[in-house]
Structure 1
């Protein structure tokens, strides 16, 4: 149910460019996609809010979160030879940046192609070949021959945002999603599909969707949305790193194709045990495939949300993605559907007595 719509959401959101701090175009797209399902608005940071139809204001309030931004780069300076020096927006491993296609936003709002480059091995000493690369050694080439041409002919400017240049694809036979920015556009798609599937259905709780900005640089947008929504409970959607391609099988907790992942702990949040137990039991009741994760590192918007006000019980519904925080990712549509199914059943189950049931 809703496969066509869900795929369309994922494709359009994945293909959109919007690194941290420059989410305007993704915010506009989100208003278009999610706006029909409630009263929508956008704040000065470009956080997008959708207050679901039927909002009463005097009952249990639930915040649904997913972040709009993707990891990217920003132009630090323009060299005399036309090359662009860069800084990161979000967490990158520098060795994974060179030899890829990017898009640079120009003064007139167009996104032009660029290639990430570093010193070719032919010109490197043996020591340079083995010491590893730093972000300061990587440049972007838009095809300009000098600084003046880069600025005047190409429209490049200092502080221009940069995003990976990847086109979404779906392998229906193997149920595989391929694309960029699945952290967290795949979560944004799941959130939007949740709103669509519940459209017109009467719930016993108020629901506010908050698509937040700047998660990749510290969850800054979610700090604002949590204060604005003032929720009693929160559900965070996240494109979460799969571990099935490097962990030993008995250590794997986040595999593609095995359902959504509910994390108990990460570096920034200990998930409310009562809410986690409630969600896991509901998943089993409705035969929704889920995995459980205990993370040594990482973090989500759950961190700023769960500490707001007097504390907000929060869970994170993760959708496993291979090769997160790189250009490309693999994910399974069935895992997105599992995340939507769990969120949908959770919202259907909530009422004013729910908080009292979150015991452990």
Structure 2
């Protein structure tokens, strides 16, 4: 993938615009299976809804688990007032500042899409203490433009229905920048699918499993059960990290500067041998590289590396602006270089390299 125009933009658009909070990822998983089936030998689901695509290698090589979570941060219908307003229950982490006056979509149990707007207040005459106060997500509501609770219920809205931002994917004014909702972590779901497609164009010894996992934003749950289904020898979590190249931040993690290797986050320390192997591939492919030390939060690797008798793991990240908001921004270069890196890793891994990765943490081979 040497050129940006080799990206499947339709796939990214579909993934971004699909609605799927924790526990309700069905729309996303159907995209994963429909796109990935031609590049997979087998597709299976675990009982939390994670979908696992298997691509067999040429020999009985090691098992690689690639993991990207399908769920986005969103809301559920908490209650409906007599006046027809919908109260919100956050599902995942939200900051009140990014919510007022945003359009949201309610997806009913029958799949109907209903648009509303998060309520806001006019600034006229508000006391300073109110203007400067961040509203709590639980205090906000969705206005469907309905006069009563009965009208809302007649639309099919029920307690527990999913609510997600109503945002269209778009290429920005410099078309290397992509804006959309749910890049956390749908851009990495795209990476996993593109890796399977790239692997279909050659041979590899390892058996590659791409796990599109559920419920990461509410406790990193789907990756835990997917591990038991796969029983991998090595795992790579694919997730986003926070870009720090806006006027709000000090420069450091910029969009468009290549792959990001996560050395550690608050929940996982990457296998040092695995990091070194990725560095070698980066050099061989002439990719650009940065390093991430995320001291708050974690990825699917958090639970993967602690399962079974321990799994050799690390995280590879894509930087995004405006994480956990209705609109996020990523860069095509970061996306493509991540696909190149992970694809080459899957082609190179064999049992000898697995032994080297074990030795990196002091395991003596018998």
Is residue 8 from structure 1 mapped to residue 10 from structure 2 by the alignment?
Answer: yes
Question: Match of 1:259?
Answer: 258
Secondary structure (helix, strand or coil) at the match of 2:116 reads strand
Whether the 8 Å CA contact 1:55–1:207 is kept in 2: the answer is: no
Question: Match of 1:151?
Answer: 153
Question: Match of 1:187?
Answer: 188
Count of residue correspondences: 355
Whether the 8 Å CA contact 2:58–2:203 is kept in 1: the answer is: no
Whether the 8 Å CA contact 2:57–2:205 is kept in 1: the answer is: no
Question: Match of 2:111?
Answer: 109
Question: Match of 1:50?
Answer: 53
CA distance in 2, matches of 1:17, 1:289: 33
Residues 172 and 53 of structure 1: CA distance in aligned 2, closer, same or farther (over 3 Å) = farther
Question: Match of 1:234?
Answer: 235
CA distance in 1, matches of 2:243, 2:322: 8
Question: Match of 1:142?
Answer: 144
Whether the 8 Å CA contact 1:70–1:183 is kept in 2: the answer is: yes
CA distance in 2, matches of 1:178, 1:137: 28
Q: Cα distance, 1:140 vs. partner?
A: 0.3
CA distance in 1, matches of 2:50, 2:161: 21
1:164-243 aligned at under 5 Å gives the runs: 164-171=165-172, 173-243=174-244
1:56-135 aligned at under 5 Å gives the runs: 58-122=60-124, 124-135=126-137
Q: Cα distance, 1:173 vs. partner?
A: 4.3
Whether the 8 Å CA contact 1:169–1:179 is kept in 2: the answer is: yes
Structure 2's unaligned 5+ residue stretches are 361-366
Secondary structure (helix, strand or coil) at the match of 1:112 reads strand
**Deviation readout 1:224-246 (Å, 9 max, x if unpaired):** 10111100101111122212224
Secondary structure (helix, strand or coil) at the match of 1:297 reads coil
Secondary structure (helix, strand or coil) at the match of 1:148 reads helix
Secondary structure (helix, strand or coil) at the match of 1:216 reads coil
Secondary structure (helix, strand or coil) at the match of 1:217 reads coil
Question: Match of 2:291?
Answer: 292
Whether the 8 Å CA contact 2:19–2:27 is kept in 1: the answer is: yes
TM-score, normalization by structure 2: 0.92
TM-score, normalization by structure 1: 0.94
CA distance in 2, matches of 1:81, 1:4: 51
**Deviation readout 1:200-246 (Å, 9 max, x if unpaired):** 52211111111001111111100110111100101111122212224
Two-structure CA RMSD over aligned residues (Å): 1.7
CA distance in 1, matches of 2:90, 2:146: 22
Structure 1's unaligned 5+ residue stretches are none
CA distance in 1, matches of 2:65, 2:12: 21
